[in-house]
């Protein structure tokens, strides 16, 4: 209690002092309690500085209060360095500007929150690049890369992050701000003779160099990937006494980086990939040196333990199919100024390997950009694919050791034997060109005996790496997992030197304490160790894929952070707000924390969790794009169902949630209902944003039209689902679908009674009602389902209910299984059941936008194929439109909704003023029409236009 009250005072003073955000509430602390590691420590609070001055002021206040601090970028670290009982300073939201990019001097000045690809994209405009590119390059930050001394595929070409840092602007906990870099002797003498703390630091560094230089030369392994330990070697005279590079890799334990000047290197204009397939990874490792002689700019490995998992988890299966047959692959990338030169280099390698290995390896040369991108996608997704929820749980900790590349084959053989002795499964991949092995090991961290095995294994594995002259970390840093064994690598004297180095920068031991130096033991602070026993909860959804356990579902996320990417469909609200709580990861962590119960103590009624879920658009992109298929839309609906168990929902829930009921009433007096919905009082009660226009009920519903007209033809019967949106608001779409289906040779019929899938109910967690809607639907459709009649659904979000929510709510119902399997979207149905259906070409252009649920569960291929035959088609990666049912209508969501649409979709629509805008989603159509003022068409309408020859 006293501790929290001290924290309260600290927070109060911070709020008075800085412009940025100060968050010491339980939700924010829970949110930042874990990274990608096996560890969890709840921070004191979180600060999100707006400016460098904010950082300086934050540190000053923390100093006065004796509070430890910890910097954070995107939090994708794997060994525990980004979690601590400290004040977390998150640089990613505001301090993310490229201050200057000087192509002539090949230098850039960046703030620490700049994303790796942000810099690489900017540099690429000048045919330059920032060399180190971790697999997380789409979202990891430069501050984090500097903190960890990160590396990547192109470290073969350009080295580690340390090798690419020219200068750093740093700040210590006791308030010293220095610009550090390479320091010649005269400068060093000048700086060392200065007074105060700066002079003390330089004198201390000089003494360390003089005292330990010999030992550093003797004991630091001379390998490309020595990342463990502090970079004391950078203080050696032959390295130019480079204080900036010495601080790289210190993982927030010495100083904060406020700005960095980084080196850029030429980026080859053309790249070609040689994919070399081997029988196993040992044979692959034995070839590394031979391949390096050909000068690749990247040399990576993927083992079959990765690709097997991907196939089992149905992750990137099409891309895995591009790999030639084999049990392990080396990906050798060649760069040159001309395409032919790059290909020639790859061919040179192919010839040499054929001569060297005979038929023991096969080489496939991939020179087209898209093919290369897909091959790399498999390698980059390897960490995500190291887990299959419910089947294989692997963990980071001993997973990035590096040995001399020439000894890699022997090391891997011995390492595999060691795993076998402990009975541990492992997934392998890595930067084999630099001797760095990623080994994701299936430790049992949930039981005491499992943890004992973990510790024994770490002990023996570190011995093994060191016997090969390697480094415990070749990439991810020491954090907590490796720190304990550093003494074996460096010996007690060098550990003392590192301790002295830290003390110079951080005399009060307040920078990320307990990490790297004098660290917690590898089995302390385990996130879900033997003492984690989450409660078994009654849930509405069955969560069968997670052993019928909500706790297991919530623990699916292990922190990869792909949802922090600013491209792709996942987490549209994060892309708009840059808030961790609006990522799939943040939300999943909060649900995990809800079960943990401390500091979050509100259970299903927790306001912090509710807040984080409020901006989830339930787009289901995570279900498709997240490497472990976290299904946040389902978790959100489940949470809301409990949250509202004993309280009233907002008025909108009873209107939008039960739209089908209102639509039924409106049928009798559509004009009156439209008028009523426009009354300011009604809009206010429903919380509608003033900028929004509510869709108008049509005078005649689709069903009424169909009843008047009746079915036609005698083809195979197909059931057309009259979803509420198209039935009541856009009946033209459904009537177009009838004509298209008839033209394709089918006889259309509608359900015998009024039905609704209940899609909007999920947005408000009305799950008991949703189940009743589904039971009624199954009762009405039973006969048709049992004759295997296909069900065509025009609205993707309704089709998604049948494919996704239905089997999860009624897992044992055979008819539910039938409906899930028999549900089609129009394009998919025509492709499967009428492949010969070919309306005549329309001509002109069209922009196609896929509804999120369509993208996540059905894919867009069939639509692209069909439309591609009729028009010149542009199908940009538009992500979520931002409307998402009633989400975008709500006053409080309007800004985020517009930001989502303005990211890619609306610019793409505006850039093609003559094009048809095609999308099947009712919400997407409303969003585009309201914000871009452009009419939209459902695929059914485009097909009908093609049939009649009039666009």
Catalog residues that contact ligand FAD under the rule CB under 6 A: 35-36, 70-78, 81-82, 91, 112, 134-136, 140-141, 143-145, 147-148, 150-152, 251-252, 256-257, 383, 475-476, 512, 560-561
Report how far apart, in Å, the C-alpha atoms of 600 and of each of 477, 589, 639 are.
30, 11, 15
Query: 531 burial class (0-12, 13-18, 19+ CB within 10 angstroms)?
Result: exposed
Report helix, strand or coil for 162.
helix
Residue 43 vs 790, nearer CB to ligand FAD: 43
Could you tell me the smallest distance in angstroms from the CB atom of residue 349 to ligand FAD? 23
Residue for token digits 């000053």? 60
Could you tell me the smallest distance in angstroms from the CB atom of residue 64 to ligand FAD? 21
Could you tell me the smallest distance in angstroms from the CB atom of residue 917 to ligand FAD? 36
Residue for token digits 């004992």? 452
Report helix, strand or coil for 902.
helix
Could you tell me the smallest distance in angstroms from the CB atom of residue 468 to ligand FAD? 21
Could you tell me the smallest distance in angstroms from the CB atom of residue 258 to ligand FAD? 7
- β-bridge mates for residue 109, sequence order: 100, 261
Report helix, strand or coil for 884.
coil
Q: Could you give the CA distance from residue 144 to residue 601 in angstroms, rounded to a whole number?
A: 31
Could you tell me the smallest distance in angstroms from the CB atom of residue 425 to ligand FAD? 19
Two structure tokens written together for 393: 């749980």
| Ramachandran assignment for 647, one of left (phi > 0), alpha (psi -120 to 50 degrees), beta (any other) | beta
Could you tell me the smallest distance in angstroms from the CB atom of residue 113 to ligand FAD? 8
Q: Which helix (H) or strand (E) holds 272?
A: strand 270-278
Residue 252 vs 261, nearer CB to ligand FAD: 252
Residue 258 vs 909, nearer CB to ligand FAD: 258
Residue 131 vs 790, nearer CB to ligand FAD: 131
Task: Dump the DSSP string for 477-505.
Answer: --TTTTGGGHHHHHHHHHHHHHHHHHHHH
Q: Could you give the CA distance from residue 553 to residue 892 in angstroms, rounded to a whole number?
A: 29
Residue for token digits 């298929």? 629
| C-beta separation of 486 from 228 below 8 A | yes
Residue for token digits 């200068």? 167
Residue 28 vs 724, nearer CB to ligand FAD: 28
Residue 69 vs 842, nearer CB to ligand FAD: 69
Residue 170 vs 652, nearer CB to ligand FAD: 170
Q: Could you give the CA distance from residue 585 to residue 573 in angstroms, rounded to a whole number?
A: 13
Two structure tokens written together for 807: 């089997």
Taking the C-alpha atoms of 784, 786, 792 and 793 in order, what is their torsion angle to the nearest 10 degrees? Answer: 90
Peptide linkage before 599 cis (omega within 30 of 0): yes
DSSP letter at 135 equals T
Residue 31 vs 917, nearer CB to ligand FAD: 31
From the list 73, 63, 68, 60, the residue with the least C-alpha distance to 84 is: 68
Could you tell me the smallest distance in angstroms from the CB atom of residue 243 to ligand FAD? 14
Could you tell me the smallest distance in angstroms from the CB atom of residue 138 to ligand FAD? 10
Residue 146 vs 346, nearer CB to ligand FAD: 146
From the list 923, 712, 768, 746, the residue with the least C-alpha distance to 824 is: 746
Could you tell me the smallest distance in angstroms from the CB atom of residue 209 to ligand FAD? 22
Residue 515 vs 803, nearer CB to ligand FAD: 515
Q: How many residues does the chain have?
A: 951
Could you tell me the smallest distance in angstroms from the CB atom of residue 36 to ligand FAD? 5
Residue 251 vs 727, nearer CB to ligand FAD: 251
Q: Could you give the CA distance from residue 56 to residue 600 in angstroms, rounded to a whole number?
A: 30
- The contacts found for 787-790 with CB under 8 angstroms, 24 or more apart, are 788/818, 788/822, 789/717, 789/718, 789/719, 789/822, 790/718, 790/719, 790/822, 790/824, 790/829, 790/833
Could you tell me the smallest distance in angstroms from the CB atom of residue 595 to ligand FAD? 23
Could you tell me the smallest distance in angstroms from the CB atom of residue 301 to ligand FAD? 12
DSSP letter at 68 equals -
Q: Could you give the CA distance from residue 555 to residue 583 in angstroms, rounded to a whole number?
A: 15
Residue 60 vs 909, nearer CB to ligand FAD: 60
């Amino acid at each position: 209690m006293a501790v929290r009250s001290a924290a309260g005072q600290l927070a109060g003073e911070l709020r008075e002092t800085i412009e940025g955000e100060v968050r010491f509430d339980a939700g924010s602390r829970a949110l930042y309690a874990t990274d990608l590691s096996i560890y969890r420590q709840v921070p004191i609070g979180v600060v999100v500085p707006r400016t460098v001055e904010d950082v300086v002021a934050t540190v000053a206040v923390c100093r006065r209060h004796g509070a430890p601090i910890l910097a954070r970028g995107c939090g994708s670290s794997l060994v525990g360095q980004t979690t601590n009982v400290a004040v977390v300073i998150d640089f990613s939201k505001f301090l993310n500007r490229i201050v200057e990019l000087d192509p002539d001097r090949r230098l850039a000045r960046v703030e620490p929150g700049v994303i790796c690809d942000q810099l690489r994209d900017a540099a690429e405009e000048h045919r330059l690049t920032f060399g180190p590119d971790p697999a997380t390059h789409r979202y990891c930050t430069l501050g984090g890369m500097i903190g960890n001394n990160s590396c990547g595929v192109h470290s073969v070409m350009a080295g580690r992050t340390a090798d690419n840092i020219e200068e750093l602007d740093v700040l210590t906990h006791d308030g010293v701000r220095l610009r550090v870099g390479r320091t010649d002797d005269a400068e060093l003498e000048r700086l060392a003779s200065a007074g105060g703390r700066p002079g003390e630091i330089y004198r201390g560094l000089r003494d360390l160099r003089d005292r330990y230089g010999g030992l550093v030369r003797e004991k630091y392994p001379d390998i490309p990937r020595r990342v463990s330990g502090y970079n004391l070697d950078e203080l050696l005279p032959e390295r130019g006494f480079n204080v900036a590079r010495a601080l790289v890799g210190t993982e927030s334990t010495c100083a904060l980086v406020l700005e960095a000047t980084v080196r850029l290197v030429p980026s080859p204009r053309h790249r070609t990939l040689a994919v070399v397939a081997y029988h196993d990874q040992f044979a692959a490792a034995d070839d590394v040196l031979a391949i390096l002689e050909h000068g690749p700019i990247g040399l990576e490995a993927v083992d079959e333990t990765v690709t097997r998992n991907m196939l089992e988890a149905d992750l990137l299966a099409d891309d895995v199919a591009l790999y030639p047959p084999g049990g392990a692959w080396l990906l050798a990338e060649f760069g040159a100024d001309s395409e032919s030169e790059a290909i020639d280099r790859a061919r040179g390698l192919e010839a040499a390997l054929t001569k060297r290995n005979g038929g023991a390896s096969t080489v496939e040369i991939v020179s087209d950009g898209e093919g290369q991108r897909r091959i790399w996608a498999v390698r980059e997704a390897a960490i995500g694919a190291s887990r299959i929820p419910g089947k294989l749980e692997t963990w980071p900790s001993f997973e990035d050791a590096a040995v001399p590349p020439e000894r890699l084959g022997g090391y891997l053989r011995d390492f595999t034997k060691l795993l076998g002795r402990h009975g541990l499964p492992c997934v392998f991949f890595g930067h084999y060109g630099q001797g760095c092995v990623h080994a994701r090991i299936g430790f049992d961290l949930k039981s005491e005996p499992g943890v004992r095995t973990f510790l024994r294994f770490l002990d023996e594995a570190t011995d093994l790496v060191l016997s090969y002259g390697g480094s415990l970390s070749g990439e991810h840093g020491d954090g907590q997992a490796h720190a304990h064994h550093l003494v074996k690598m460096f010996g007690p004297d060098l550990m003392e030197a590192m301790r002295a180095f830290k003390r110079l920068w951080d005399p009060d031991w307040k920078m990320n304490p307990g990490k790297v130096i004098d660290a917690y033991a590898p089995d302390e602070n385990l996130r879900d160790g033997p003492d984690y026993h989450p409660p078994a909860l009654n849930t509405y959804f069955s969560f069968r894929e997670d052993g019928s356990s909500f706790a297991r579902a919530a623990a699916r996320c292990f922190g990869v952070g792909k949802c922090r990417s600013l491209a792709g469909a996942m987490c549209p609200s994060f892309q708009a707000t840059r808030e961790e709580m609006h990522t799939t990861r943040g939300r999943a962590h909060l649900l995990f924390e809800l079960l943990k119960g401390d500091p979050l103590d509100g259970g299903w009624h927790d306001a912090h969790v509710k807040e984080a879920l409020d901006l989830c658009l339930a787009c289901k992109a995570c279900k498709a794009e997240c490497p472990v298929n976290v299904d946040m839309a389902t978790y959100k609906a489940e949470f809301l169902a409990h949250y509202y168990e004993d309280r009233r929902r907002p008025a909108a829930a009873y209107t939008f949630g039960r739209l089908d009921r209102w639509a039924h009433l409106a049928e009798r007096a559509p004009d009156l209902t439209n008028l009523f919905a426009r009354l300011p009082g009604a809009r206010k009660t429903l919380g509608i944003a003033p900028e929004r226009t509510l869709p108008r009920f049509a005078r005649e519903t689709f069903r009424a039209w169909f009843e008047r007209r009746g079915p036609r033809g005698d083809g195979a019967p197909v059931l057309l689902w009259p979803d509420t949106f198209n039935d009541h608001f856009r009946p033209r779409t459904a009537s177009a679908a009838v004509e298209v289906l008839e033209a394709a040779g089918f006889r259309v019929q509608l359900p015998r009674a009024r039905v609704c899938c209940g899609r909007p109910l999920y947005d408000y967690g009305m799950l008991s009602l949703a189940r009743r809607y589904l039971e009624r639907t199954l009762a009405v459709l039973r006969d048709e389902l049992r004759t295997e009649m296909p069900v065509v659904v025009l609205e993707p979000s309704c089709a998604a209910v049948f494919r996704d929510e239905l089997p999860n709510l009624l897992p044992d119902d055979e008819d539910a299984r039938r409906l899930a399997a028999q549900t089609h979207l129009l394009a998919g149905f025509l492709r499967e059941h009428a492949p010969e259906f070919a309306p005549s070409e329309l001509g002109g252009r069209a922009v196609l936008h896929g509804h999120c649920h369509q993208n996540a569960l059905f894919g867009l291929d069939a639509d692209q194929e069909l439309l591609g035959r009729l028009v010149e088609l542009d199908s940009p990666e538009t992500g979520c439109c931002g409307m998402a049912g009633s989400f975008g209508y709500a006053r409080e969501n309007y800004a985020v909704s517009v930001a989502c649409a303005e990211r890619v979709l609306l610019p793409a629509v505006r850039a093609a003023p003559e094009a048809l805008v095609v999308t099947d989603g009712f919400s997407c159509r409303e969003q585009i029409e309201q914000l871009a003022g452009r009419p939209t068409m459902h695929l059914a309408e485009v097909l009908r236009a093609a049939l009649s020859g009039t666009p």
